[in-house]
Chain A
């Protein structure tokens, strides 16, 4: 083999490798373009409608801005310091937490029980499923007006019924008394959302292996034992999703409260969302309101992460 032959074979190898690399790169590029073409539409929309506003919200919270002035004054953490000293904001925050607790109590277990009961129905399952889901298709504005009438102290059906059976002492001004206003609003909110959670539970229930129940029957387990030992553990994932959704929805709830009480009377149903809305749009304190929203956003994120962390740890 002479030198010329070996050089030409080396060149050929090199060319071959080069074209192979080029081909691979082209393939990679093509793959990248394909991936991007799938991702970009969603990413662009997500950036425009979520990421940029979120980033802007955080940015505005460090300024003193009224929402329309051409210039903004940088004030650092001043808005956050003011919030920490704002009694109404802190009250609103505590109402939010109470709302979460009440929502969890009223929403999760009763909805699960309802889903189990519906899944046991032999005839007319679709009817019950559709019937119970119905409130979820109503707009929150409609739900708000409807429940305002239900809670009406003079003409509302609850008080009319209580008075008609001689329980006048139990007839309250449900949206006007500090002890009842938030629970009353949570009940209305539960009514509006339980259909959605019920459907999630029903879907989860369909995935449970029926042999487990048969085995439990053979072991002589009763319905309550089966519920706690089979149904609940098998629905762990659905439960996690539902609990996360209940927490998030409770913290960011706005429409129903705005329609039914606007945070009143006397701040008794003020939530962070209603408070920041008033601050931003009625008082032109946009930066201050944004700081309030950021605080609420952080709480929602912390809640969600902490809950998911706890869930994963307990599963492991």
Chain B
């Protein structure tokens, strides 16, 4: 009896230890992954080179099924070009702001070989400053990626001694508008400041919300403010702000904040937007309850998904500066990085070469529902199959403006999001908001945050 008890307690202890070990394993190590690696392990023993190896990618959550299918096609093409290489794609939150990506990398457990993350020096530096991602200088040199990227994209990421990213796409954020809503109320696509303001007033008078924004998500209110900044202050002013000695409480910038507050007051931007998420705002726009929304080309997959390609198009907010043309804002939208602890850098390199290749651009731009402007030079001569993307690519032919969110330090960005929310919610005054952002930017500068551009 006693022996049985001992045996039983021994078995219990083993079970407890095993469950403890299993419990402490990485949540990313799903059974599927394990199975894949197990299979691959057995394959690679007998194979040489890349045959049987697995490339682990970590990319943003799919917006919808359309995007999922696009990725499947891209992965298929890569596999076709690299026979024997398996690709394991995991999806997740790739925004540094939410903290999930830094946490994933800090844990150091089963890091992917390459990550497609939300770009911008303010984001990438959060990871590079603490060595969570590795410099790619040698790979750039070896593969001559510099000459394979759009110059605008390369310039944005190569200002520092080390390059940590390979741009995936160039952002083109501007207004999207409901063509039929405009037509229904007799509004033509505005090309001047007066026409634009008149359109906002007409829409308001007709009981249609002129602009919807999901201000609860900081990045979305950042898009709108970025578009307004480009239009009212101009690219050079924003450039000075981000790369030079410009200040957020500069009278010209404060004027843009005043304009935003004024638009809320006049009902051009609904005050309720302050608690609206980006998803809610998109729903409002796509269901034609609002006439315009500041968005990037990401919206295209939703348009395809809901069969709205013919009733929605993109338009730039006209420049409020005499003789100037406003550009779409953005910079790099999504960018590839390699974690410091990545297991297979060679495969990641192969993948990056594929991303900048003509093969990749051809396959994605021929998809009528593709939603990004590729950052590679190879994509320049290719005409996209989708109409909306064609307009967006045309808009950025002469380069693009800046979406400040992606160029800010961590303190300034948090202040930027919160204070813009405050402006939309009527919780703060324009000058006070810009002073707060400047104070936070000053903190970043004191911590050594400084942007350099080639």
A-B contacts, CB under 8 A, total: 92
Binds B, one of A53-61, A95-103, A265-273: A265-273
User: Is A284's CB under 8 angstroms from B421's CB?
Assistant: no
User: Is B96's CB under 8 angstroms from A265's CB?
Assistant: no
Contacting residues, chain B, for A261 (C-beta < 8 A): 216, 275
Contacting residues, chain B, for A301 (C-beta < 8 A): none
| CB contact between A266 and one of B130, B277, B411, B421 (< 8 Å): that residue | B421
How many Å from the CB of B39 to the closest CB on chain A?
Answer: 33
> Which residue of chain A is the closest to B273 with respect to CB atoms?
A176
Q: Is the interface of A mostly helix, strand, loop or mixed?
A: loop
How many Å from the CB of A171 to the closest CB on chain B?
Answer: 10
Contacting residues, chain A, for B422 (C-beta < 8 A): 265-266
How many Å from the CB of A275 to the closest CB on chain B?
Answer: 10
> Which residue of chain B is the closest to A281 with respect to CB atoms?
B99
User: Is B274's CB under 8 angstroms from A265's CB?
Assistant: yes
A310→B100 CA distance, assembly (Å): 42
Q: Is B425 an interface residue (CB 8 A)?
A: yes
A280→B103 CA distance, assembly (Å): 9
Known: A41-B16, A264-B418, A266-B422. A69 touches B130 (CB 8 A): yes
A217→B204 CA distance, assembly (Å): 67
Known: A282-B99, A282-B414. A265 touches B427 (CB 8 A): yes
User: Is A278's CB under 8 angstroms from B272's CB?
Assistant: no
User: Is A265's CB under 8 angstroms from B98's CB?
Assistant: no
User: Is A176's CB under 8 angstroms from B130's CB?
Assistant: no
- What are the interface flags for A133-169 relative to B under an 8 Å C-beta threshold, 1 for contact and 0 otherwise? 0000000000000001001111000000000000000
Contacting residues, chain A, for B218 (C-beta < 8 A): 264
User: Is A282's CB under 8 angstroms from B425's CB?
Assistant: no
A66→B428 CA distance, assembly (Å): 31
| CB contact between B425 and one of A266, A277, A280 (< 8 Å): that residue | A266
- For window 268-296 of A, CB contacts with B under 8 Å fall at 268, 277-278, 280-285
Q: Is A177 an interface residue (CB 8 A)?
A: yes
| CB contact between B130 and one of A41, A67, A280 (< 8 Å): that residue | A67
Contacting residues, chain B, for A66 (C-beta < 8 A): 129-130
| CB contact between B96 and one of A148, A175, A282 (< 8 Å): that residue | A282
> Which residue of chain B is the closest to A37 with respect to CB atoms?
B9
> Which residue of chain A is the closest to B132 with respect to CB atoms?
A68
Contacting residues, chain B, for A277 (C-beta < 8 A): 99
Q: Is B53 an interface residue (CB 8 A)?
A: no
User: Is B418's CB under 8 angstroms from A267's CB?
Assistant: yes
- For window 118-133 of B, CB contacts with A under 8 Å fall at 126, 129-132
> Which residue of chain A is the closest to B108 with respect to CB atoms?
A68
User: Residue among B131, B216, B271 with the most chain A CB within 10 A?
Assistant: B216
Q: Is A119 an interface residue (CB 8 A)?
A: no
- For window 280-308 of B, CB contacts with A under 8 Å fall at 280
Q: Is A183 an interface residue (CB 8 A)?
A: no
A251→B105 CA distance, assembly (Å): 29
- For window 63-92 of A, CB contacts with B under 8 Å fall at 66-69
A155→B289 CA distance, assembly (Å): 12
Contacting residues, chain A, for B272 (C-beta < 8 A): 153-154, 173, 176
Q: Is A178 an interface residue (CB 8 A)?
A: yes
How many Å from the CB of B144 to the closest CB on chain A?
Answer: 31
> Which residue of chain B is the closest to A275 with respect to CB atoms?
B414
> Which residue of chain B is the closest to A67 with respect to CB atoms?
B106
> Which residue of chain A is the closest to B272 with respect to CB atoms?
A153
Contacting residues, chain A, for B275 (C-beta < 8 A): 148, 151-153, 173-176, 261, 265
User: Is B414's CB under 8 angstroms from A283's CB?
Assistant: yes
Q: Is A234 an interface residue (CB 8 A)?
A: no
User: Is B131's CB under 8 angstroms from A284's CB?
Assistant: no
Known: A69-B130, A154-B272, A176-B271. A282 touches B427 (CB 8 A): no
How many Å from the CB of A133 to the closest CB on chain B?
Answer: 28
- What are the interface flags for B210-229 relative to A under an 8 Å C-beta threshold, 1 for contact and 0 otherwise? 00000110100000000000
User: Is B216's CB under 8 angstroms from A265's CB?
Assistant: yes
Interface size class of B (residues with CB under 8 A): 35 or more
How many Å from the CB of B355 to the closest CB on chain A?
Answer: 27
Q: Is A262 an interface residue (CB 8 A)?
A: yes
User: Is A265's CB under 8 angstroms from B425's CB?
Assistant: yes
> Which residue of chain B is the closest to A66 with respect to CB atoms?
B130
User: Is B410's CB under 8 angstroms from A266's CB?
Assistant: no
Known: A66-B129, A68-B131, A178-B427. A262 touches B216 (CB 8 A): yes
User: Is B410's CB under 8 angstroms from A282's CB?
Assistant: yes
Q: Is B313 an interface residue (CB 8 A)?
A: no
- For window 78-119 of B, CB contacts with A under 8 Å fall at 96-100, 102-103, 105-106
How many Å from the CB of B105 to the closest CB on chain A?
Answer: 8
User: Residue among A68, A265, A285 with the most chain B CB within 10 A?
Assistant: A265
Contacting residues, chain B, for A174 (C-beta < 8 A): 275
- What are the interface flags for B386-421 relative to A under an 8 Å C-beta threshold, 1 for contact and 0 otherwise? 000000000000000000000000110010011101
A282→B218 CA distance, assembly (Å): 13
> Which residue of chain B is the closest to A159 with respect to CB atoms?
B272
A69→B129 CA distance, assembly (Å): 8
Contacting residues, chain A, for B421 (C-beta < 8 A): 264-266
| CB contact between B274 and one of A67, A173, A280 (< 8 Å): that residue | A173
- For window 178-229 of B, CB contacts with A under 8 Å fall at 215-216, 218
Contacting residues, chain A, for B216 (C-beta < 8 A): 261-262, 264-265
- For window 348-374 of B, CB contacts with A under 8 Å fall at none
User: Is B129's CB under 8 angstroms from A284's CB?
Assistant: yes
A37→B379 CA distance, assembly (Å): 67
How many Å from the CB of B334 to the closest CB on chain A?
Answer: 18
Contacting residues, chain A, for B98 (C-beta < 8 A): 281-282
User: Residue among B216, B275, B421 with the most chain A CB within 10 A?
Assistant: B275
- For window 170-188 of A, CB contacts with B under 8 Å fall at 173-178
A59→B129 CA distance, assembly (Å): 22
> Which residue of chain A is the closest to B125 with respect to CB atoms?
A284
User: Is A268's CB under 8 angstroms from B427's CB?
Assistant: yes
User: Is A67's CB under 8 angstroms from B427's CB?
Assistant: no
A67-B102, A277-B99, A281-B98 given. 10 additional CB < 8 A pairs? A152-B280, A173-B274, A173-B425, A176-B275, A264-B218, A264-B417, A265-B275, A265-B427, A266-B427, A282-B410
8 A-B residue pairs with Cβ-Cβ distance under 8 Å, sorted by A, are: A173-B274, A173-B425, A176-B274, A264-B274, A265-B421, A266-B421, A277-B99, A284-B130
For the complex of A and B, the 10 pairs showing the least CB-CB separation, nearest first, are: A281-B99, A266-B422, A68-B130, A265-B421, A283-B410, A153-B272, A176-B275, A176-B274, A266-B427, A175-B275
